[in-house]
A and B are shown apart, each in its own frame.
Chain A
Amino acid sequence: MLRNVWIVYSKELLDTVRDRRTIMSMIVVPIVIFPLLTIGFGSLVSEMTQKTQQEKQRVALISREDAPALYAVLDSSSELELATDWNLPVDSIAPAILNKTIQAAVVVDSNFEGKVAGFDSSGITVYYDAAETKSEIAKEKLKEILSDFEKSILRNRLAEKNIPDDFIMPFRTNTENVAPKEKMGGFVLGMFLPYMIVILGMVGAMYTAIDLTAGEKERGTLETILVSPIPRWQLASGKFLTILTTSLVASIMSITSLTVTMVYGVMSTASMGEAIALKITPQMILTILLLMIPTACLFSALLMSISIFAKSYKEAQSYASPLMMVIILPALVSFIPGVELNIKLAFVPLVNVCLAIKEALLGNFNPLYIGIIFVSALIYAAFAIFVTHRIFEKESVLFRS
């Protein structure tokens, strides 16, 4: 019995590793392309944000005659470019911002600096376009400059009255991050890793699942193999184990590659390297591997039962692609802040595994939840295997034409 499963398994594995497409999705994509894309995209976003921040946005000051001091401050700012030639009526500000002649405008109330000098209060309005990143950045920079400007006025006022600065500052608030560097590392990795495991577990299983089922129909080998004297459930099991193997290999490849990239790539950069370190304990590795198995089982069984139903490779692919969309959503749960594993979520497939892996990377191991996840996922997987086995028995599905 096990001998037959082994015969099928070893043959399918040999067949699979000779297939360039599977090698692509099992090894090349997880090791090279996916981490590259994920990290590449991340660094592209941060680089673009940085670049936009460094750019000088053009701003205008309206009624500059009422605020010569502020004008001087803005004009000397290294972060903004002041449109010195600009002094237009208030109603032309919005169009100018919308057509991007300027990114933001500061309008002071009449007799602004006169009022300020007379210990009175006045007002400033900042105009900007919230749907435009550059304008938004200009607004943020202006708020900071104006806040500094306000503080300098305040200090002058206090000095004039001979009051120490501390008078208006009864206390200061400091925040201190007590998370060890390793926990921060686990936190960052905990966002990406579950997502990678789920996506790559799926991608890794997909081609093999299709090749071993619909592919077998398309090549006309299904009939041949059904004539051999091995029971169909053993045939299904051998195929299932092959798909499971490619799924697991893809997942392991991807997390290894991601972890290595994180350790030597992202974390070695000066800014993050100080605050983040990564400490992978054997317990973490064991937990992650343990949690990967039910996920991979579920995908392998799902993909196998879907693609055995298909007549051809193409048809199977069109069934599997929507499934990919469906699983991405629960996989993204590790990115949602505040969602924690609890007894209810421990029963939700994929979500439970993602959260448990996240927790494990933070050093939290809850044996009860891990137990529930493992058992429930195995039940889902067993169900999917059962369905596949039933389909293998159905001639209407096997010989659809």
Chain B
Amino acid sequence: MIEVHNLSKIFEDKKRGRVVAADNVTFTAGPGEIFGLLGLNGAGKTTVLRIIATILKPSSGNVRVWGVDVVREPEKAKANLGFLTGETGLYGRLTAREMIGYFGRLYGMPARLLKNRTDELMQLFNMTEFADVRCDKLSFGTKQKVSIARTIIHDPRAIVLDEPTVGLDVITSRAVVDFIRNEKRRGKAIVFSTHVMHEAEKLCDKIGIIHRGRIIAVGTPNELKAASGRDDMDEAFVALIEGDGHAA
């Protein structure tokens, strides 16, 4: 379960003054549920995800990961959480195996379990041949696979993915989508952000459209299409956002 409740985040920016990056955001991703956060660049997706992942502290509201409050007990919350950041940073001078292993150890995994799990993920993502190659020598797609393996090395019950398929080729992209589906089947609570509408439509049980820090619409893909009166997800998204613009 990932429960986001009345979450707000206000930045004090020297140039722009007070910036409300998240404004009273509420949503829930239950067990075996995928919640998609859709929005334009700068809409507040990353801010919300970063707060769930405890990297940023909320100005108000709260987030609970399987019942653990991320502000009060960040270390405990993180143990149950896998977070794939937007900037997929890897340590270039470590090999893929070392990179994944480092995080496994940080999550307190015993050596044997870590090795088995690493091998399992390497096979799952079809990257065994790259296991001992330094990360800065890997292709973009393989890097993303390493990042995802790193994210779920400890088999977390909650997974947060910030634009996991951005910049990937079709094959790798499909591998990522398959992986998300599989994790859903295993009962994980998943939140992910994207601006690829058809991907959200295929994967998500629920979609929240975030615009200027606020969730302006929530529902299943079909509900959203119905609400906007369009039968294409792209069209529905644009209509909802523009509708919000007129209202404001």
Which A residues are within 8 Å of any B CB, using their own CB?
A: 4, 7-8, 11, 14-15, 18-19, 216, 219-224, 226-231, 395-396, 398-399
Contacts and interface: CB of A to CB of B under 8 A. Distances in A.
Interface of B: 12, 50, 53-57, 75-76, 78-79, 81, 83, 85, 87-94, 98, 102-103, 105-108, 147, 150
A221 B75 contact: no
A223 B54 contact: no
A19 B93 contact: yes
B105 A14 contact: no
A138 to B, nearest CB: 60
Nearest to B87: A220
Given A14-B93, A395-B55, 16 more contacts: A4-B106, A7-B105, A7-B106, A18-B93, A216-B89, A219-B89, A220-B85, A220-B89, A229-B75, A229-B76, A229-B78, A229-B79, A229-B107, A231-B75, A395-B56, A395-B57
Nearest to B55: A226
Nearest to B83: A227
A221 B89 contact: yes
Given A229-B75, A229-B79, A395-B55, A223 B89 contact: yes
A395 B55 CA distance: 8
A19 B12 CA distance: 37
A223 B84 CA distance: 9
A221 B93 contact: no
B90 A15 contact: no
Nearest to B136: A219
A396 B85 CA distance: 18
B85 A223 contact: yes
Given A15-B94, A226-B55, A227-B83, A220 B106 contact: no
Nearest to B54: A227
Contacts of A19: 93
Contact of B55 (A4, A8, A223): A223
Contact of A221 (B56, B90, B107): B90
25 contacts: A4-B106, A7-B102, A7-B105, A11-B98, A14-B93, A15-B93, A219-B89, A221-B91, A222-B89, A223-B55, A223-B85, A224-B90, A224-B150, A226-B55, A227-B54, A227-B55, A227-B83, A228-B78, A229-B76, A229-B79, A229-B107, A231-B75, A395-B56, A395-B57, A396-B12
A67 B107 CA distance: 96
A124 B88 CA distance: 84
Nearest to B93: A18
Contacts of B53: 227
Contacts of A229: 75-76, 78-79, 106-108
Nearest to A4: B106
Contacts of B93: 14-15, 18-19
Interface centre among B53, B83, B94, B102 (most CB of A within 10 A): B102
Contacts of A222: 89
Contacts of B89: 216, 219-224
Interface centre among A227, A228, A398 (most CB of B within 10 A): A227
Contacts of A15: 91, 93-94
The 9 closest A-B pairs by CB, nearest first: A220-B89, A220-B87, A221-B89, A229-B78, A18-B93, A228-B106, A227-B83, A223-B85, A7-B105
A228 B87 contact: no
A29 B91 CA distance: 25
Contacts of A398: 55
A189 B56 CA distance: 52
A11 B55 contact: no
A224 B160 CA distance: 12
A224 B55 CA distance: 9
B75 A219 contact: no
Given A220-B88, A223-B85, A395-B55, A230 B106 contact: yes
A219 B107 contact: no
A247 B53 CA distance: 34
B78 A227 contact: yes
Contacts of B56: 395, 399
Given A223-B87, A224-B85, A227-B55, A14 B107 contact: no
A216 B93 CA distance: 12
A394 B66 CA distance: 26
B82 to A, nearest CB: 8
A14 B135 CA distance: 14
B58 to A, nearest CB: 11
Nearest to A222: B89
A396 B57 CA distance: 11
A223 B105 CA distance: 17
B148 to A, nearest CB: 12
A11 B102 contact: yes
A231 B77 CA distance: 12
Contact of B92 (A11, A219, A227, A395): A219
Interface centre among A4, A219, A398 (most CB of B within 10 A): A219
Contacts of B88: 220
Contacts of A228: 78, 103, 106-107
A188 to B, nearest CB: 41
A23 to B, nearest CB: 12
A316 B86 CA distance: 24
Nearest to A221: B89
Contacts of A219: 89-92
Nearest to A231: B75
Contacts of A227: 53-55, 78, 81, 83, 85
